[in-house]
Amino acid sequence: MRIVSIVGARPEFIQVAPLCWALQGSEHEHVVVHTGQHYDRLMSDVFFADLRLPAPGVMLGVGSGSHGVQTGRILAELDPVLAELAPDWVVVFGDTNSTIAGALSAVKMHLPVAHIEAGLRSFNRVMPEEINRIMTDHAADVLFAPTEGAVRQLASEGLAERTHLVGDIKTEVTYAVRDLVAGRRLQLPEGVSPDEPFLVATLHRAENTDDPQRLAGLVEGLARAPHPVALLVHPRLRDRCAALGIDLHQGALRPGEPLDYPSMVAAVIGSVGVVTDSGGLQKEAFLLQRQCTTVRTETEWVETVDLGWNVLCPDPADLPKLLERAVPEPSTAHPYGTGDTAQQIVDVLSRLSPSAPHPGS
């Protein structure tokens, strides 16, 4: 069976890793197509190197643009690539513009599509990611749900027959990298000492960065944190702050470049907690047992909140007080599986593959 995985943005390079590891040396062929949505070295290349991923088999160069332009470019460039590769399965991950474009291109070419991380919802239709998730789930033939909540959501949308509960594919990477970085020297922005309590923060969502007042409020709230904040600055945040004249060198803030994945995991382990609007980081903080404060009105990863490890902070003025809260009791729950998701996915795809040998033949 030939599987084509479509990736383009930072979280997808992490999500595809366990699938690459599970398929390396198997009888199946795996081609990774990189759309080029993220193109900076620190947003893309370092992930391929650190996670031992083969170089992408196909590299598109779509780059940045408005949602329509970026999605449209990916669609236009993918059609001939998929036509030539003629895969048994096209696999897409998560909720980015590369995800929706990959699913749409494939389904219109009558190629079977599998969506990993299906069924997550924020119920906030202002988020571009929410529209991408809903459309991708309804276009795909097979839905790999990470949680029981996601399974229920897909059933409520009439998609139960296509759904398989397999756990979260990132659990495997987070655990593997946690073990790899144990004892490693931390790579932190200037002014953050690994020997003193510090927080790790990221901000990049359009809902937070595109409204000047909200962005200024978030930066001020973070600047009043009780510990130094290692703020790992996404290009969107850097550009918006520069355009709006918002100073990232204020109060507790210690801005630095985005980190590669192992350094990020090591930084979270070394920290006293995380402040973020990222989906993946909320869950990683939970898996690494560090408390998370999420600067959004809702989360797709509700289990992290239910288990007491994540608190939503819609109003940035509440941040300093919230960051003083007590650390929760260690959790033994495994809402995101135990780290065998990729193999389960390969098994389901082999079983359902149109080119799979007929049972008993």
Q: Which residues contact 120 (CB under 8 A, 6 or more apart)?
A: 95, 133, 146, 147, 150, 153, 279, 300, 301
Q: Give yes or no for residue 268 binding ligand UD1 (CB under 6 A).
A: no
The token pair at 58 is: 């196909």
Q: Which of 148, 210, 211, 239 binds ligand UD1 (CB under 6 A)?
A: 239
Which residues between 129 and 158 bind ligand UD1 (CB under 6 A)? 129
Site stretch for ligand UD1 (CB under 6 A), options 5-13, 77-85, 105-113, 242-250? 5-13
Residue 154, beta-bridge partner list? none
Catalytic status, residue 110: no
Q: Give yes or no for residue 247 binding ligand UD1 (CB under 6 A).
A: no
Site stretch for ligand UD1 (CB under 6 A), options 118-126, 164-172, 235-243, 328-336? 235-243
Give 72 or 251: the residue with its C-beta nearer to ligand UD1: 72
C-alpha pair distances (Å), 152 with each of 121, 148, 298, 303: 11, 6, 18, 14
Q: Phi and psi dihedrals of 334, rounded to 5?
A: -125, 65
Give 50 or 95: the residue with its C-beta nearer to ligand UD1: 95
Q: Which of 3, 6, 11, 219 binds ligand UD1 (CB under 6 A)?
A: 11
Give 22 or 237: the residue with its C-beta nearer to ligand UD1: 237
Q: Give yes or no for residue 40 binding ligand UD1 (CB under 6 A).
A: yes
Give 207 or 318: the residue with its C-beta nearer to ligand UD1: 207
**How many other CB atoms sit within 10 Å of the CB of residue 197?**
12
Which is the catalytic residue, given 28, 204, 234, 334? 204
Residue 241 C-alpha from the chain's centroid: 23
Which residues between 176 and 215 bind ligand UD1 (CB under 6 A)? 204
Minimum CB distance to ligand UD1, residue 3 (Å): 22
CA pair distance 41, 221, nearest whole angstrom? 30
For tokens 């669609």, what's the residue? Answer: 75
Find the helix or strand (DSSP H, E) in which 5 lies. strand 2-7
Q: Give yes or no for residue 39 binding ligand UD1 (CB under 6 A).
A: yes
Q: Give yes or no for residue 43 binding ligand UD1 (CB under 6 A).
A: yes
Q: Which residues contact 65 (CB under 8 A, 6 or more apart)?
A: 73
Positions marked active-site? 204
